[in-house]
Amino acid sequence: SSRLLGKNVLITGASSGIGEACARHFAQAGSNLLLAARRKDRLEKLKKDLESQHPQINIRTFELDVRNRAKVQATAATFGDIDVLVNNAGLVIGLEKLEDITEEAMDTMIDTNVKGLVHVTQAVLPGMRARDKGHIINIGSVAGQQAYGNGSIYCGSKAAVASISKALLFETIDTAIRISEINPGMVETEFSVVRFKGDKSKADSVYKGVHPLDGNDIAETVIFVAGRPEHVNIAEMLVFPTNQAAATTVYRKP
Ligand code: NDP
Ligand code: 8X3
């Protein structure tokens, strides 16, 4: 959409999967990019690639762990005006019963998916409010709407994202700021590789017999949501692969 031309778009978790795909799609739309993640080398590679394809846009990269509140605030001070924030950084660790989840895994999920999203939002929203302009797009999950066994903390973290998104609708009701939540179902990214700590065959088995979404499928919805006219806010979206009906209900071709 030409509405995205020249917009300054901050994407967290831009080094892989959905975030990387969003970077590619916003670049295609002529937006300037602020790309954040822990793996700076990946971001640099992506920046080089996108700059060669879209020489007119401005791309900056930020090595940023969203869990680090002080670093988020210090880094955000250098951002300038953000038009669109895509809160995408997130992860799941393991697939275990609640009583078997380690404190480290619990902290990693909550600190990243919930507190990290809040840190970045707190760093960016005041500027949007001052300019009465801006759009925050949170990547939630079907897991935030439907809990499943062995997913308690992850599902809870995404339910928190849903609640935070909804609360923000109220808190920005008298402004031109838009708050959107996109809830993907099964997307094949590095998500399952991270979940199973690098066990690629375990990760592959998640997608066996189904045609999952890929990062581009979600990036297309993000671009659609971001590209609506200013008086239109897509507050919520649930996006499944065709053969998915619920968080853990997918049809697998035998
Ligand atoms: P990937 O693992 O491919 O990407 C996750 C991204 O998050 C990476 O760029 C990673 O970058 C970044 N990230 C993780 N931890 C941090 C951190 N502490 N600080 C900054 N960045 C971080 O998975 P997806 O693309 O699938 O995940 C993106 C979002 O989509 C997540 O919020 C996930 O929960 C959500 N989602 C995914 C679904 C799926 O089936 N794949 C379904 C529904 C929602 P780096 O490691 O370089 O920091
Ligand atoms: C990711 C989808 O079902 O693996 O949010 O939790 S699921």
Spatial separation of the C-alpha atoms in residues 178 and 168, rounded to whole Å: 9
The model's pLDDT over 63-101, given as tens digits with 9 standing for 90+, comes to 999 999 999 999 999 999 999 999 999 999 999 999 999
* 25 pLDDT higher than 80: yes
Site residues for ligand 1, CB cut-off 6 Å: 12-13, 15-19, 37-39, 42, 64-67, 88-91, 112, 116, 139, 141, 184, 186-187, 189-191, 194, 215
Report the percent of the chain where pLDDT is more than 90.
99
Average pLDDT in the 154-174 region? 98
* 30 pLDDT higher than 70: yes
- What is the pLDDT, as a whole number, of residue 1? 64
Average pLDDT in the 218-226 region? 98
Domains and CATH numbers, the chain: 2-245 (3.40.50.720)
Average pLDDT in the 220-247 region? 98
- DSSP run (H or E) holding 243: none
How far, CA to CA in Å, does 159 sit from each of 6, 47, 127, 147? 33, 32, 26, 9
Average pLDDT in the 185-199 region? 96
* 139 pLDDT higher than 90: yes
State the catalytic residue, choosing from 133, 154, 166, 208: 154
The model's pLDDT over 1-12, given as tens digits with 9 standing for 90+, comes to 699 999 999 999
Q: Residue with the nearest Cα to atom 31 of ligand 1?
A: 90
What ligand 2 atom has the least distance to the C-alpha of 151?
6
Question: Across-strand partners of 63?
Answer: 37
Residue 94, SS3 per DSSP: coil
φ/ψ of 29, rounded to 5, equals: -85, 0
Residue 55 banded pLDDT, cuts 50, 70, 90: very high
Average pLDDT in the 11-36 region? 98
Average pLDDT in the 171-180 region? 98
